């Protein structure tokens, strides 16, 4: 377990870029933290670190965004608006989680029973207006 302190969005992206060195096909990252804690900003850095220039945005309303063009595809999920287990089950997550890309799930703590055992949990905490603590388990 490691905790990083970020003092800006650029630093949060840099932490994502660094973690990109340690992920590959079949990796899953389960992100938790309040609104505005840096989850999507972190994913922006991860995607860049994997070599993609695709614009990263929150998949809150679409549930899933796919980012191609890097060494592996990133499947970026957002469980925030999913209301029940049936909604999650219909997504066919196993095809993504055990496929050829990296799965990143924002709000993973809403339905932890769907997160694969091998997932790395990452907690985002707001410490101040600009400062975030990012703990990678």
Q: Is the pLDDT score of 53 beyond 90?
A: yes
- Six-digit token pair at 51? 């070599």
What span, in angstroms and rounded, lies between the C-alpha atoms of 101 and 34?
A: 26
Q: Is the pLDDT score of 2 beyond 90?
A: yes
Altogether, the residues listed in the chain come to a count of 137
Domains of the chain, residue spans: 2-136
Q: What does 87-130 look like in DSSP terms, one character per residue? A: HHHTT-HHHHHTSSSEEEEETGGGSGGGS-TTPEEEEEEE-SSS
What span, in angstroms and rounded, lies between the C-alpha atoms of 44 and 132?
A: 16
If you average pLDDT over residues 112-136, what whole number do you get? 97
* Residue 128 main-chain phi, psi, to 5 deg: -160, -175
- Its pTM stands at 0.95
What confidence tier does 61 reach under pLDDT thresholds 50, 70, 90? confident
Give domain 2-136's CATH architecture. Answer: 3-Layer(aba) Sandwich (3.40)
Q: Is the pLDDT score of 60 beyond 90?
A: no
**Greater model confidence, 91 or 43:** 43
What span, in angstroms and rounded, lies between the C-alpha atoms of 117 and 60?
A: 24
Instruction: Give 7-35 pLDDT, tens digit per residue.
Output: 999 999 999 999 999 999 999 999 999 99
């Amino acid at each position: 377990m490691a905790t990083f302190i970020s003092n800006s969005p650029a630093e949060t992206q840099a932490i994502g870029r660094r973690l990109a060195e340690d992920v590959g096909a079949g990796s899953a990252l389960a992100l938790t933290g309040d609104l505005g804690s840096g989850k999507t900003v972190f994913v922006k850095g991860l995607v860049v670190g994997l070599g993609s220039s695709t614009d990263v945005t929150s998949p809150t309303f679409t549930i899933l965004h796919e980012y191609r063009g890097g060494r592996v595809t990133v499947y970026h999920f957002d469980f925030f608006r999913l209301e029940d287990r049936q909604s999650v089950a219909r997504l066919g997550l196993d095809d993504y989680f055990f496929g050829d890309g990296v799965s990143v799930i924002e709000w993973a703590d809403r339905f932890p029973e769907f997160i694969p055992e091998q997932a790395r949990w990452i907690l985002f905490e707001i410490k101040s207006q600009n400062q975030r603590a990012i703990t990678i388990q």
